[in-house]
Structures are given as structure tokens and as C-alpha cells.
Amino acid sequence: MLLTPPPVDAARREQVREQLRGMRDKGHLSWSHLLDTARDHCCSSLLFARLAEKNFLDLVPAEPREVLKSRFRHNLVRDMIFRFELVGLLNELAKADITVILLKGAATWIDNLYGPDGAREMSDIDILVRAADIERAAVIIETLGYSQIPNPNMVLEGLPTDRRHHHLRAFGKPGSPVFVELHYRLGYGRTGGIASEEELWQNSLAGTLEGVEVRVLNPTYRLIHNTAHGMVPECEFISSRVSLRQLAEFVYLAARYRREIDWRTWRDKGVQGGMNMEFFTWLHLAGVLFGLEYPQAVPFSPRARLHAARILQADRLQTGRSGVKDSLIWLLIRLYYYLSLPGWVWENVCYTEGGGHNLARMIYMAKKAASPRSRAKIG
């Protein structure tokens, strides 16, 4: 509730204030748990910004209020550094006549999606360029002092399974917190099959950042990318994990562009990518956790509601389980993960463009199964 766009209704604002006050006075609100959750989900700055915007900071005890304020100030400085580096990079790319689409957090600077500077915590800068421009763009980034970070998992082997990559190895600069990911596709595996390169450019809009012309995906495609990225790449859906930062951004986009978003296209893209259950579950979670109204253009899915309940139960049980019932629920959640994992690996890691190449995929899957690092990830 606190991370969603501020309500315009004064009566509703006062109602929320009374609810928070009651939770605080009855001891139902654990600030230490809230601070830990906000930190783990990279939402501390957003939480502070929303509390301040709604004039709720007086309801927060002094110690957690100072923690949130300190985290916000730290992120504000970090945000300025990220933005400065991005503008410098965009200027150089523009000089070379390379157009970019800003993705995820970087795109929120174009429309000021979150309001106050520093509200959105950035892990890296994601930009998309045309595949034909990728090598020239990489050279330009390196001239600015960045270099590619070694990543043994992104070594090209000259095999059909090389298509599992969708961006170059991340670029970093010594002494700087900024990392840049240079994308040439939206994603890999099922996520990569959502939209072709040309479709992305056709569904992008012009914008400016500090006077530099850039592009961002239109609101519908930003929602599509957000959903796929939040549910699939790190097997979030089957492992019962959800990123509150990603889900909050979904809600912000849905609220800001409620008149522009084509929910039928959003729904159809999920079906096209074989991710309809992931898409519907993401939407259910947005409703349960943030109160997003369910769009009429999306059919209600009882199965997605069950999957949302699974993810929420997993989050509750992560911190501790008591009794036979909790242990049984946890066992079923983990069983679902282990049974679903081979299919997820086959579709999203042992991936080849357009299908086929089954022998190469099986060989790569065997290599992954034999890898200690891959087995450690299973948990």
C-alpha cells in the first residue's frame, strides 16, 4: 500500500493514516522486519519517499525513520551519479548516430514515473540498441572508461545455445557504482520470444534526458517487459519469489498510463510467449499486495490466483515454519519447484532460436546438470 502512487482522496489518505496508527499502537507493525524487507527488495528509498509525500513520517519511530532517511539520501547521491554517467554515454552514442531505448529503471527518468529524485533504487543501467549497432556501442562505452566484467557464463561457444544471451557482458568502471548492460534483444528464452527487434522499435516512443534524444517502450510494452522480467529470467515464478521493486513499478506504470495501456496486447503477449500463467499471477500479486484494480480486458484465472497464493505462502514460510501444516505447505511448494525446474531450464537456459537443435540443447543441459555452480543454485 505504501509503495503505490499517492491517493488523491483526502478521506482515503486519512483512513490509511488511522490504519497505520492502529497497527503501530497495537504492536502489529514490526519496523525491523519492514526495514529488512525494504532493503532486501531495494525499496527503502521508495518507502521513505512515499511516507514523506503522504505526510506519514510522524507515524514512524525515530530510529527506523532515520534509517530510511539515511538510505534515501545515500540513494539520492547514487541516483545522481547514475544519471550523470548515463547522460554522458547517451551524448556519445548520439554523436555516433546510435539510437537507444532505455529499459526498466532508466526509462523512469524520462517520464518521472516515481516523482522525487532518488525514489527508485538502480542496480544498473539497461539500454537497448539495434543488433547492427551493438559492437560500435560497446567501443563507445569503453572509450568512457568502462570495461566488460568477466563472466564465464556468457562465453560464446559457437553453438546454437549461444542464443541464450540477450546482452553483452556488463560494463563497469573502476571506482564507480555504475554498471551498464548493453542489450540487443529484450530477453532470452521465453522472454526473448515475446517481441522481435523491429516490433520493439515500432512500439517505442521518443523522449529526452537532459536534452539528449532517446526512446522508451510505450506503456503497454513497458508492462510486458516488466512482467516477463519479474517472473521468468531467474525462475522467480516456479521458485515462489517476487521482487517488490519490479511489482511496484508495474503498479506505477498501470496507474500512470491506465488510459493508454492495451491490456489485450499485454495478455496476448503472455500467451504468445507461453507465459500466460506467469502474467496472470503477476497481475494477481499486484492486486493483492498493492491494490491494483483487475482490468476487465484480462480474463480472471483461478489457477493464477492459486499460484499467487503459493508465492505469498512461500514468502511467509521463508522466515520460519511451525507445526505440521506449515511443514506440509512448504514441502508442496518445494516439490512444485523441483518438478518444474527441468522444464524451465530446457526453455530458458538450453535455448536455441526458433526451436530445434535438440541434441545441442540436451548436451548443454547435461553440462549444466554436471556443473557444481548450477547445482548450488538449485538450493
CA angle in degrees (0–180, nearest 5) for 241-350-138: 85
Q: Tell me the three cell numbers of residue 361.
A: 540443447
Q: Does residue 110 have a pLDDT over 80? A: yes
Summarize pLDDT for 27-47 with one digit per residue, the tens: 667 889 899 999 999 999 999
Q: How confident is the model at residue 160, as a pLDDT?
A: 66
Residue with cell 532470452: 188
Who's near 218: CB < 8 A, 6+ residues apart? 203, 204, 205, 260
| CA 317 – CA 270 distance, rounded (Å) | 29
Q: Does residue 196 have a pLDDT over 80? A: yes
Pairing of strands 204-209, 212-217: antiparallel
- Output the average pLDDT for the chain: 89
Who's near 39: CB < 8 A, 6+ residues apart? 71
Q: Does residue 97 have a pLDDT over 90? A: yes
The lowest-confidence range among 136-150, 176-190, 350-364 is 350-364
Asked if 226 and 188 count as a contact pair (C-beta separation under 8 A), the reply is no
Q: How confident is the model at residue 351, as a pLDDT?
A: 78
Summarize pLDDT for 301-349 with one digit per residue, the tens: 999 999 999 999 999 898 778 889 999 999 999 999 999 999 999 888 8
pLDDT band at 163 (very low <50, low <70, confident <90, very high): low
Asked if 369 and 349 count as a contact pair (C-beta separation under 8 A), the reply is no
